[in-house]
Structure 1
Amino acid sequence: MLLTLTTTHQPATDLGHLLVKHPDRVHAFDVPVGTAHVFYPEAGEQRCTAALLLDVDPLKLAAARGRGGRASAPEGFTLGRYVNDRPYAASSLLASALSRVYRSALRGESRDRPELAATAVPLEVRVPVLRCRGGADVATRLFTPLGWAVTATPIPLDERYPEWGDSRYVDLTLTGTRRVADALNHLYVLLPVLDDAKHYWVAPDEVDKLLRAGAGWLAEHPERGLIARRYLAHRRALAGDALARLAAQQPTDEPPVEENVDDRDVVAPRPPLAALRREAVHAALVEAGATRVLDLGCGGGALLATLVGDRRFTEVVGTDVAPHVLDVAARRLRLDRLPQRQRDRISLWQSALTYRDDRLRGYDAAVLMEVVEHVDPPRLPALEDAVFGHARPVTVVVTTPNVEYNVRYEGLPAGGFRHPDHRFEWSRAEFAEWTARVAGTYGYTVVRRGVGDDDPEVGTPTQLAVFTRKEESR
C-alpha cells in the first residue's frame, strides 16, 4: 500500500527536513506486519515527493490477527487470514506505519527547520487505493472541514465491465496549504476511520491516541461522532468517553475564568462567546428592521436556529459551499419535522461566496458570521464583489476574531490562530481599514462594535460591523 506527500514549497527538498528522511536515501523500517519503505520518486527545488510504501508480510499479518487484531478477513474463511485486501488497500496498517516512520513529523518537530515545521506549506497527499466504507462522499465529509480540497475517485470493480459498478475502494487526493504535522495527524486518524476497521485490539488507551492526534481539530469537526465511533471500533463506552472529552475541549472563545472561592460572592457563569455573537448578530438584524435574511456560510446552522425562532424573520436562507454541512444544518433545524408553514420560511442552498449568485439578490440583510477569516486573502475581493456588489442587501452584518485578544487565551501559541482553517485574523485597525474600504467602494455606511468582554488593552474577542446601504444606492 502506498501514500505519497508532495510539496511545491521552495526549496521543495526541505520536505526531507520536515519528515526527517533524507531525499538521497531509501529508508526501511521493520513494523509488526512487514517492512515500511520511505523514498523520494522526485526531489527537486520546485517539487518534491516522499513516498511511504508498506510491504505487508501475510504471515506476520495472520500472526497479528491471531493475537487479537482485526484484519477484516471474512469470518469462517480459513484462507481469509492470508488472502485479503490488507496488503494492498490503505487502512489502519498504513496509519500505524506512518506513526512509526514519521514520529517526529507527527509531533511537528524538526531540528533543522523548526520554523518551517510550524508553517503551513502547499501539500498534495495521494492514497491511490483506499478502502472507503460509505463511498467517496464519506472521504469528502471527513477531509473538507479540515481545509483540504478532496478528490475521491471510485475505483471500478473491473474496467472491462463497467456495468459491474464501483468497488469499495477510492483513489484519494488531498490538496491544501497545511502544516506537515497537521496533514500527517489527519491521515493517522482518518485512514482507519474510512476503512472502518482496526488490525489490532482496541483498548481504552486508544481514546488517548485519538485525542492526542486530533488535538486542535477533532473537537470542532462536524463528523466527530462518526470519527470516534469508527476509530474506536464501535465500542460504545470508548466512543462515549472520547466524545465527552471532546465536548469539554470545544472552544468557547473565552479565556478561562478564575474560580471565586468565596461562596458569598458566587456569580452565574458567563455565556460562551459563540452565544454572545449570535445574540449580537440577531440584535443588529432586529435593529435594521430586516425580515428576509441570508446567513452566508451558515455552517451547521447555529445562527439559523436563532433566526427561525424569531417570527419577525419571514424568510431565512442559509448557504454553504459544502452539501454535507447543509445536511447538518437541516438536522439541527429538524426540517423534516416542522409544520409546512414553518418549513416554508426556511431554505438551504449550496453556494460559494466568491461567486455571484442571482438567488441572493433582493434580501433585506445578509450575515457573514465568522466567515471572512476562512477565505484566502487573494479571494476576498471576489467575496466583496459577490456580496456587496452583486447581492447588495440593504444591511450586511460581519463578525470576525480580533487577533489582539488572542494573548488572553492560555495555550494558544504566539502567532497562532483560533481555528486551524483560519487564513488570517485581523487586528482592530486592520478590520477598521477593511470595513471602511468596502463601505466606500460599494456605497455603504459602516458602524463597528465589539462582542464579548472589553479588555482595556486588547479590546473585545470578536469584532462586529454593520454595513447599511446608502439611500442613493438603493
Structure 2
Amino acid sequence: MLLTISTTYQPATDLGYLLHKNPARLQSIEVAGGQAHVFYPEATAERCTVALLLDLDPVGLVRGRGGASGEGFALEQYVNDRPYVASSFLSAALSKAFGTAMNGTCKDKPDLPAQTLPLAVKVAVVSAPGPDWPRRLFEPLGYEVEIETTPLDPTIPEWGDSRYYTLHLRHEGLRLQDVLTHLYVLLPVLDNDKHYYIGENEAEKLLHRGGDWLPQHPERGFITRRYLRYLAAYVNPTLERLMEGDKVEDDTFTANLTPGPSPKEREANPEPDASSLSGAPSFLERGSGDEVDAKGDQRLSLHDQRLQQVAHEIYQLAPKRVLDLGCGEGKLLRLLLRQPKIEYILGMDVSHQALARAAQRLHLDEMPPRQRTRIDLIQGSLLYRDERLAGFEVAALVEVIEHLDENRLTALEAVVFGQARPAHVFVTSPNADYNQLFEKLNAGEFRHDDHRFEWSRAEFAAWAAGVAERHGYEVRLERMGEEVEGVGAPSQMVVFTLIPS
C-alpha cells in the first residue's frame, strides 16, 4: 500500500524538516508484519512529495495469530487484501515513521508545525462501504475529495466496480500534523478492521488524536464505533466524553436522561428496579453499565432495561426452545441461559464478528458439556428462508428491525411470521416520538447511524397490527423505559401471540 503527501509550499523541501526525514535518502522502518519505506519521489523548492510504502509479508501476518486456522477458505490467511489496503497497519506505520510530525514538533524549525500548507494526499488503495463514504469522512474536514474506482476485473466490465478505491485528498491550507492525524484515525475506520487488540488505551488514543475535530464531525458516531470495533464498553463512554456528557446514541442513553421525579416524589412513589421486583427471577441483574443517581441508587441503562424486560416476559412463558434473532454480542443469550426451564437457545446474527464476541462473552469453550448443548450460535440473515428457525416457541428481535430498510421488512415478516411461526414473538424498537427530548438530536435525525428508520408509536402499532392480521397473531404493545407525558417511553415493544387454529 502506498501513501504520498505533496506540497507546493515555498520552500517545499521544508516538508523534510516537518517529517524529520531527509529527502536525500531512503529510510526503512520495521513495523508489525513487514517494513515501511520512506522516500521522496520529488524534492524541489517548488514541489516536494514524500511517499510511505508499506510492504507487508502475508506469511508474517499469520505467524503467532490466534484463532481457528480453518476459518474461511483454505488459504484465506495467506490470500487476502491485507498487504494492499490502507488499514490499521498503515496507521501504525504513520505513527512510527512520522510520530514527531503528528505531535507537532520540529526541532530545527519550531514555528513550522503551526504553518498551514497546501497539501495533496494520495492513498492507494482504501476499502470502503461505498464510494460516498470517503467523502462523508473527509469533506467535513475541509478536503476536496476525488475517488478513483477499481473494477473487479478490467476484462469483464459487466462485473462492475470493487469496494477498493484510490483516494485523492486536497486541502489549500492545513497543518501537516492535522492531515497525519486525520489519516491515522480515518483509514482504519474506512477499512473497518484492526490488526491488534482493542482495549481502553485505544479509546484514549482516539480521544487524543480526534479530540480537536471529532466532536464536531457529523459522522462522529460512525467513526467512533468503527475505530473501537463496536465494543460498547469503550464506544459509549468515548462518545459521552467527546460530546461532553450528552448521550445521543441509542445504546448509550439511560433511563434518567430526561428530568425524572424529584427525590421527594421518588420517596412517595418508589419505582422498583429489576432486582427488587417481588418474586423477580434470579436471572435479572444490574448491568455493568448502570448509572448512579444523586441518592446513590443504581439505575439500569435503557439497553439493559430492554433486555431484562424481554427476558422476564420469556421467563413467564416458560418455553423450552427460544430464538434470539439478531443476537449481537449475546447479552440476551446470557440472561436466557439462566432460565433453567429453557432447554435449547439458538442465537443468530448476520455478523460473524458479533457472533465471535458472543461466544467469547458467553465462554462457550469453557462451558460444561451439559450446558453447552443448550445453546448454539449461527450466522444467517432474517431476509432469507432458513429451515434452522423452525420449531421454536419464542423468538426475540431486540432493536433489530430499524437496522433494515423498510422495504425489506416484508422479507423479514415472511421468514419470522410466515415460515418460522413461533408461538410468541417479541419485537422492540426505538420510539421516534421520544427523540424530541434529546437536545443534540436534530429533527429528522436518528439515534444511531446504522438505523434506516425510527417509528413513532402510531407507526409501530400500525405495522404490528398489519403483521398480526396477515399471519394470525394477536398483539400487545408495551412501553420500555420511563414514560414521559406526550411522547411516551424511549423504546417500545410488541408481543405477538399466535392464535390457535
What TM-score, normalized to structure 2? 0.57
1:181 to 136, 139, 146: 136
**1:21-420 mapped onto 2 (5 Å cutoff):** 33-35=5-7, 62-66=16-20, 73-75=28-30, 80-82=37-39, 87=51, 168-170=83-85, 172-175=127-130, 181=136, 189-191=185-187, 205-209=208-212, 211-212=214-215, 213=217, 215-218=220-223, 220-221=225-226, 223-224=228-229, 245=241, 251-254=252-255, 256=257, 266=295, 268-420=297-449
Structure 1 residues 380, 292: closer, same or farther in 2, change over 3 A?
same
Residue 438 in structure 1 maps to residue 462 in structure 2: no
Residue 234 of structure 1: aligned partner: none
Deviation at 1:395, TM superposition (A): 0.9
* Higher-Rg member (1/2): 2
Return the alpha-carbon distance in structure 2 between the equivalents of residues 208 and 352 of structure 1. 37
Return the alpha-carbon distance in structure 2 between the equivalents of residues 457 and 413 of structure 1. 19
For 1:392-425, what per-residue CA distance to the aligned partner results, in whole angstroms no more than 9, with x for missing partners? Answer: 1111100001100111223111221111111111
Structure 1 residues 400, 206: closer, same or farther in 2, change over 3 A?
same
Structure 1 residues 89, 412: closer, same or farther in 2, change over 3 A?
farther
Return the alpha-carbon distance in structure 1 between the equivalents of residues 256 and 210 of structure 2. 26
Alpha-carbon RMSD: 4.8
Q: Is the 8 A contact 2:30 2:36 kept in 1?
A: no
Larger RCO (alpha carbons 8 Å, 6+ apart) = 1
For 1:129-159, what per-residue CA distance to the aligned partner results, in whole angstroms no more than 9, with x for missing partners? Answer: 9x9x979xxxxxxxxxxxxxxxxxxxx9xxx
Return the alpha-carbon distance in structure 2 between the equivalents of residues 324 and 78 of structure 1. 28
Unpaired stretches in structure 1, ≥5 consecutive residues: 4-30, 37-56, 92-128, 136-155, 157-162, 230-238
Aligned residue for 2:319, secondary structure, equals coil
Q: Is the 8 A contact 1:253 1:461 kept in 2?
A: no
Aligned residue for 1:379, secondary structure, equals helix
Tell me the amino acid that sits aligned with residue 87 of structure 1.
A
For 1:365-402, what per-residue CA distance to the aligned partner results, in whole angstroms no more than 9, with x for missing partners? Answer: 11111000111011110000011101111111000011
Unpaired stretches in structure 2, ≥5 consecutive residues: 42-48, 63-75, 86-124, 142-181, 197-204, 268-293
Deviation at 1:218, TM superposition (A): 4.8
Q: Is the 8 A contact 1:444 1:469 kept in 2?
A: yes
Identity among equivalent positions (%) equals 36
Q: Is the 8 A contact 1:211 1:246 kept in 2?
A: yes
Return the alpha-carbon distance in structure 2 between the equivalents of residues 456 and 357 of structure 1. 42
Return the alpha-carbon distance in structure 1 between the equivalents of residues 131 and 36 of structure 2. 41
Q: Is the 8 A contact 2:318 2:342 kept in 1?
A: no
Return the alpha-carbon distance in structure 1 between the equivalents of residues 309 and 444 of structure 2. 27
Return the alpha-carbon distance in structure 1 between the equivalents of residues 428 and 406 of structure 2. 16
Select between 269-278 and 349-358 the one with higher mean Cα deviation: 269-278
Q: Is the 8 A contact 2:326 2:349 kept in 1?
A: yes
Return the alpha-carbon distance in structure 1 between the equivalents of residues 413 and 453 of structure 2. 16
Return the alpha-carbon distance in structure 2 between the equivalents of residues 192 and 72 of structure 1. 24
Q: Is the 8 A contact 1:294 1:365 kept in 2?
A: yes
What TM-score, normalized to structure 1? 0.60
Residue 18 of structure 1: aligned partner: none
Structure 1 residues 176, 169: closer, same or farther in 2, change over 3 A?
closer
Tell me the amino acid that sits aligned with residue 66 of structure 1.
H
Select between 207-216 and 391-400 the one with higher mean Cα deviation: 207-216
Tell me the amino acid that sits aligned with residue 39 of structure 2.
Y
Return the alpha-carbon distance in structure 1 between the equivalents of residues 428 and 376 of structure 2. 22
Deviation at 1:175, TM superposition (A): 2.5
Tell me the amino acid that sits aligned with residue 399 of structure 2.
E
Deviation at 1:246, TM superposition (A): 7.0
Return the alpha-carbon distance in structure 1 between the equivalents of residues 364 and 308 of structure 2. 23
For 1:68-125, what per-residue CA distance to the aligned partner results, in whole angstroms no more than 9, with x for missing partners? Answer: 9xx993259999442799737699xxxxxxxxxxxxxxxxxxxxxxxxxxxxxxxxxx
Runs of 4+ in structure 1 deviating by more than 6 angstroms, as ranges, are 76-79, 83-86, 88-91, 163-167, 176-179, 225-229, 259-262
Aligned residue for 1:465, secondary structure, equals strand
Return the alpha-carbon distance in structure 1 between the equivalents of residues 485 and 15 of structure 2. 62
Return the alpha-carbon distance in structure 2 between the equivalents of residues 82 and 386 of structure 1. 56
Structure 1 residues 272, 192: closer, same or farther in 2, change over 3 A?
closer
Deviation at 1:220, TM superposition (A): 4.7
Residue 447 in structure 1 maps to residue 448 in structure 2: no
Q: Is the 8 A contact 1:255 1:409 kept in 2?
A: no
Structure 1 residues 191, 89: closer, same or farther in 2, change over 3 A?
farther
Structure 1 residues 317, 278: closer, same or farther in 2, change over 3 A?
same
Q: Is the 8 A contact 1:90 1:191 kept in 2?
A: no
Select between 356-365 and 243-252 the one with higher mean Cα deviation: 243-252
Q: Is the 8 A contact 2:325 2:347 kept in 1?
A: yes
